[in-house]
Amino acid sequence: MKKLPSYSPFILLLVAFAAIVGCKTYSFTGASIPPDVKTISVDYIPNRASQVQASLSQKLTELLKEKFVGQTNLTLVSKEGDMRFSGSIIDYRTQPVAIQSSDLAALNRLTITVNIVFENTKDEEKNFDKKFSRYVEYSSDKDLISVEDELIDQINEQLADDIFNAAFINW
């Protein structure tokens, strides 16, 4: 039996790395981005919900920009990117859930719904105009104002993940 040279694991690793780098659309985040797509633009996401929370639009817009730039190799441009995101917040509400026998809610639910328009200028079949909705429940013994910022941050993270997945991972 012939013994392999000691450098064979290094060569195997090098070949595997070359195969990964050679894939045109591979990303370590799982994003599938064609090599001809270089830029991304994210328009300000205005709050068109009947109940408006002052910082929600800015927080969501900035989080989307950070996520897209941080998890892809795309360059953020102010307008006319190869991939373009726009939309609006269409619902922001809190409602009681988990009603107890005393007709009091044990939990309240904060729900945020956004409508996102995604345009892929390089592959129009990937375009979408879609609603994304997420919620977080919180104890009814807490005042919404005292937990609102934390809940918004949690929901925005979930929404950003959903939007990212829909645009780049094709879920």
With tokens 């910082």, the residue in question is 55
Sites in the chain below the pLDDT cut of 70: 1-30, 98-105, 170-171
**Long-range CB pairs of 20-29, under 8 A, 24+ apart, other chains included:** 27/71, 27/72, 27/73, 27/168, 29/71, 29/72, 29/168
Count CA within 13 A, CB hemisphere, residue 158. 15
pLDDT at 19: 47
pLDDT at 96: 87
pLDDT at 32: 74
Q: Which residues pair with 133 in a beta bridge?
A: 113
Give, in order, the Cα–Cα distances in Å from 63 to each of 11, 140, 150: 40, 28, 14
For 54-94, the pLDDT digits (tens) are 899 999 999 999 999 999 999 999 999 999 999 999 999 99
Two tokens, residue 22: 């050679």
CATH class of 36-169: alpha beta
pLDDT at 13: 52
